[in-house]
Structure formats: C-alpha cells, structure tokens
C-alpha cells in the first residue's frame, strides 16, 4: 500500500443538508486516489443526524477511507479543527468547511505538487466564492444545488498569478485572494508541524475573542512557514460557499464580522509581524484592514451603542482599534472625508 499522503479533514456542526452537497464534490475528486488519502469527518455534537448519513456513505463509497468522529460535547469551532488534525494520519492535512466545494481535478493537482516537490511543507490554493443564498436559507434549508461551473461568472475570485513556488510571506498579501491566509480551506499543511504547536485550551474555547479560537491555523503558520518556499496553485481548486454561516450574520453588522475586522485581524497581523514576517507585507496587510475600518468608522460606533455582539464585548474596544490604525493613511482618508461631510452638512442644515 502506498504512503497515506493526504487527510481531508471536515469539521462539521449541523447544516447536514449543505454537507451532503459538498461531500459529493469531495468524494468525486478523491475516488481516483483512494490509496493515497483519507477523509475525516469530525462532528461537533450536532443535533442533525450525521451518524446515519456517514454510515450510509461509508457503505456506499467503500473504495475511499472515511472515518467519523462525534465529540461527546460541543467543543467549539477551533477545538474541532484541532480534533480533526489529531484524528488524521496523512502526511498533510486539508481542512475543509462543510460548505466548501472542490474541483474534480483538485486532489490530483495537489498530490502531483507534493510528489514532484518532496520538500514542500505547505500549499496555498486560489480561493473562489459562490453565494449559496440562492440555494439555501436559514428557515427553509437547502435545495439541491445545480452542477457548479468553475468558470462561471457566479464564481468570485479569479486567478491573478500563475501556479508557482513562492515565498510564504507573499501569500499573505491581498492580491493572492486570501489576506493573511485567514481562510483555512485554501491551505494544505504538513501535519506534524501542526501537532508540534501547543494551543492553550483557554484560548481555543469560544469564538472571536482571540486568534486561537478564530484563526488557530494562523498561529501555526506564523511559527512554521514564514520565510520558507511553498507552493501556490492558481488553477480552480476550491469554492467556498457563502451565505450559510450563522456567525457571519445576514449583514456585516449582524454577526461577528466587525469584531473579526476591528480586532482579530489586527491581532493576526501583529502575530505574523512578531514572528518575523516581511515588513512590507505587514504594511500592506495592515493598510488593507485599516481601509475597511476607516470606511466604516461612523457606522461601527452607532452599532456598538445600539446593541448587537459588540455592545457588551469585553474583548473589543474601539479606542484600542483606532490607536492601532490611526497612523495608517488608508484609515485617515475616509475618516477625514467623513468628518468634512458632516461639518458641511451641519453648516448648511
């Protein structure tokens, strides 16, 4: 038997109807390489009946190794990510969300890169997006999705660069479509490096209070891959489904996104910087996040006062956020422009 090269890890929590659709794409891409990979499904104590469904696909798709775990209690997102990696046996791990679709040729392409570049420890994938709101809503669930055309105009996130060996630090830049590599499904990493990383269980509990319970992989990446040559795949590989995640909210200010942009993303940048990330990359990433903060500064204050997740959050402080971006020009420009508009409006009222 050939060496088990890849573990496709899928942490799940409810949304079984969505998962049934995305699993088909994962199986179709994996079936020709069954002797080189495994599929791990880690259920974070869902109320949806994953056990029955997974039992049926294990019987139906016997050629592929599918292993299922159900946590005895809900561990939370980050801890379920960690659990997936602990359960896996492959040399490399690819953690996919239950709403992520993968291209039929994706696994072939990924395995080819690892086999032809034996010293590789990391692969980044071009990330594309598909709005699933046309197929899914929180009240009525999921209606069967049409066959995905990976070159369709519905897909956002086109290739800006060719596939290539590249310095890891450059992949953190916005132009590669996954700023600071926050989207974990677009990353494939050497399993042993993750396992060597020590997570504090106090930090991995909950959600959107620190890096480790929001982007735990960024902590691992900052410690292990900065300054190293890795591989970037620009071909269509993965499509991340949008519109089915409760934590994101129906609008920007309904969910956790303000906390993620106004605090956690800045923490991620600082952590990469602390671990020796290229300084120019750090500046560009900070400028990108500062632009978002600057464009929304007048709205976030109203939101914090009116209620929502920010109102009583002990982890979020607007003054602290503004101090961290005040000297960044991309933050200053929209704020100054907004203030001038307010003054002019007040004068001519």
Domain boundaries, the chain: 6-246, 249-349
For residue 134, what pLDDT is reported?
65
Is residue 255 left, alpha or beta, with left meaning phi > 0 and alpha meaning psi from -120 to 50? Answer: beta
In this structure, of 95-109, 122-136, 291-305, the range with the lowest mean pLDDT score is 291-305
Helix (H, G, I), strand (E, B) or coil at 100: strand
Superfamily of domain 6-246: Spore Coat Polysaccharide Biosynthesis Protein SpsA; Chain A (3.90.550.10)
199 has pLDDT over 90? yes
For residue 205, what pLDDT is reported?
94
Give 1's pLDDT tier (boundaries 50, 70, 90): very low
257 vs 153 pLDDT, higher one: 257
Query: 296-311, pLDDT tens digit by residue?
Result: 877 666 666 655 566 5
Range 137-165 burial, b when 16+ CB lie within 10 A, else e: eeeeebeebeebebeeeebebeeeeebee
Instruction: For residues 117-125, give the mean pLDDT.
Output: 97
Q: What is the pTM of this model?
A: 0.91
Vertex 75: Cα angle to 73 and 78 (nearest 5): 160
Q: How far apart are CA 337 and CA 345, in angstroms?
A: 12
Query: 210-237, pLDDT tens digit by residue?
Result: 999 999 999 999 999 999 999 999 988 9
Q: How far apart are CA 344 and CA 61, in angstroms?
A: 67
- Average pLDDT over the chain reads 88
315 has pLDDT over 70? no
Give 73's pLDDT tier (boundaries 50, 70, 90): very high
Distances in Å between the Cα of 48 and the Cα atoms of 12, 19, 71, 89, 245 are 10, 11, 13, 27, 16
Matching residue, tokens 């069954």: 34
For residue 309, what pLDDT is reported?
61
């Amino acid at each position: 038997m050939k060496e088990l090269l890849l573990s496709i890890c899928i942490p799940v929590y409810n949304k079984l109807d969505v998962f049934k659709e995305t699993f088909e794409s994962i199986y179709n891409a994996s079936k020709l390489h069954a002797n080189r990979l495994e599929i791990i499904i880690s259920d974070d104590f869902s109320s949806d009946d994953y056990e029955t469904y997974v039992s049926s696909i294990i019987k139906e798709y016997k050629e592929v190794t599918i292993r299922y775990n159900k946590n005895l209690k809900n561990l939370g997102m980050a801890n379920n990510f960690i659990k997936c990696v602990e359960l896996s046996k492959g040399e490399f791990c690819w953690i996919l969300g239950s709403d992520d679709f993968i291209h039929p040729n994706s696994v072939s392409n990924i395995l080819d890169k690892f086999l032809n570049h034996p010293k590789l420890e990391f692969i980044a994938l071009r990330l594309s997006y598909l709005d699933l709101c046309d197929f899914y809503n929180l009240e009525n669930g999921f209606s069967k999705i049409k066959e995905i055309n990976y070159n369709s105009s519905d897909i956002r996130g086109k290739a800006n660069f060719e596939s290539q060996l590249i310095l890891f630090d450059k992949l953190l830049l916005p132009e590669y479509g996954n700023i600071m590599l926050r989207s974990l499904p677009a990353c494939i990493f050497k399993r042993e490096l993750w396992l060597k990383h020590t997570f504090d269980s106090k930090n991995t509990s909950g959600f959107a209070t620190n890096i480790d319970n929001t982007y735990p992989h960024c902590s691992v990446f900052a410690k292990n891959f900065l300054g190293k040559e890795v591989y970037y795949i620009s071909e269509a590989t993965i499509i991340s489904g949008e519109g089915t995640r409760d934590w994101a909210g129906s609008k920007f200010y309904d969910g956790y996104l303000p906390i993620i942009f106004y605090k956690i993303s800045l923490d991620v940048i600082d952590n990469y910087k602390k671990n020796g990330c290229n300084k120019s990359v750090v500046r560009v990433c900070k400028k990108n996040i500062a632009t978002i903060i600057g464009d929304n500064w007048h709205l976030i204050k109203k939101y914090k006062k009116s209620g929502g997740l920010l109102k009583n959050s002990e982890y979020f402080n607007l003054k602290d956020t503004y101090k961290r971006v005040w000297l960044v020009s991309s933050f200053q420009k929209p704020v100054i422009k907004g203030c001038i508009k307010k003054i002019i409006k007040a004068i001519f009222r």
